[in-house]
Structure 1
């Protein structure tokens, strides 16, 4: 019997016309489409492909058992997610064993801070898996700023706002160009770290990059922001001709 394939498809930063040709083809032709979402929410990946799916598509929403209800430092957090990813892996592998292909929708790039990588490591060796790279959210964010991100020998650092405040401050101070993701509930802490590093005047917040609600604001001028879909940027100023 033919074995099906799992396709981890990068959808890019949020606009359908920023998807690759391969991603577009796979999404439009898929009979089985899986995607991650928070319980009770449609999910950003599913929003991106609205209107693209075939009429007889079978959707497989994979709902996180926990997001912010338990601290990441609590052992129950990893235990709950590990069990969740194992269950998702089992379900998808069962479909491929029956000869079905499955497209897993991935915001940005599947191998860049995404949930798909947790499936990929579990699926490898069980069933064929392919990955379609996508434009990262941070690429969409610095393009929205209309300014080059790195020059010459600039060092680019990518941080998660979930890091301890002292680590954020040190790394922000020591790098040339900066991207901070996963801001969420950590916006106040991130502001303090940027200020302590003496770089508040250089920092931008980009909300909903490449989406209809896109907004670019200097951090020092930002008042009300939507931190879940925000990325903080500090552009490099390195060597140039």
Structure 2
């Protein structure tokens, strides 16, 4: 490649700044250009994690999503808006790298685990130097917050999105040993019904803001029917495996 600069996808971990890797910390503190995803008008969680860590002359590049929940994911306009957004930012990052600059793109959790950076990576890979720095995932922070091991022996672990159809959720929740469910948000009521239908309500935990100052860990059975119709963005449901052990 003839492009002299490098674009880094930096995994920041589950939310607590001191759970960032040494490599991620070094890159964040040394980067002159720092890009991060956010909802328009918000600071963005990735930016909050690194508050106080950036150099004095940093050039911040907030990447404002054109759409979050305003359009259903099933609407063709949703993908069209995001595709245009990622294409625009791919070009902006390429311009910086072509000028010899290094850019740190902040990524919550791990950049290759359901993260927005993946959509930039697939467009940049093979065109410009891209380095990915892995991070602790949010679900790892969530099961650790419960104080219980999540898998034992030969346990099979499943990761689900609560956006799936209810029947699919029931089937997969019933068929696995250990479970992490992400993207709950407005799907909490549906997810709860699926967990109950799968016969696993007593084993389920809802973890909100894992590893952060306002972390909350609650057995699902203790959440009243009137509460939690919409969970915070940083919410993960955990069911622990109970497999083979010495």
Q: Matches of 1:163 and 1:232 in 2, distance apart?
A: 14
The equivalent of 1:86 in structure 2 is 87
Alignment deviations for residues 15-66 of structure 1 (CA, whole Å, 9 cap, x no partner) = 1110110000000000000000011111110010011001110000001111
Q: Is the 8 A contact 1:5 1:128 kept in 2?
A: yes
For structure 1, which runs of at least 5 residues remain unmatched after alignment?
A: none
User: What secondary structure does 1:109 align onto?
Assistant: coil
Residue 2 of structure 1 and its aligned partner are, at CA, apart by 6.7
Q: Matches of 2:3 and 2:11 in 1, distance apart?
A: 25
Aligned-pair RMSD on alpha carbons?
Answer: 1.0
The equivalent of 1:237 in structure 2 is 242
User: What secondary structure does 1:63 align onto?
Assistant: strand
Superposed structure 1 runs of 4+ greater than 4 Å apart: none
Does 1:59 find its partner at 2:60?
Answer: yes
Q: Matches of 2:6 and 2:82 in 1, distance apart?
A: 24
Residue 77 of structure 1 and its aligned partner are, at CA, apart by 0.7
The equivalent of 2:35 in structure 1 is 34
Q: Is the 8 A contact 1:185 1:227 kept in 2?
A: no
User: What secondary structure does 1:227 align onto?
Assistant: coil
TM-score (norm 2): 0.96
Residue 227 of structure 1 and its aligned partner are, at CA, apart by 3.0
TM-score (norm 1): 0.98
Q: Matches of 1:184 and 1:120 in 2, distance apart?
A: 26
The equivalent of 1:101 in structure 2 is 102
For structure 2, which runs of at least 5 residues remain unmatched after alignment?
A: none
Does 1:122 find its partner at 2:123?
Answer: yes
The equivalent of 1:198 in structure 2 is 199
- Superposition map of 1:1-241 within 5 A: 3-223=4-224, 224-225=227-228, 226-241=231-246
Q: How many residues align?
A: 241
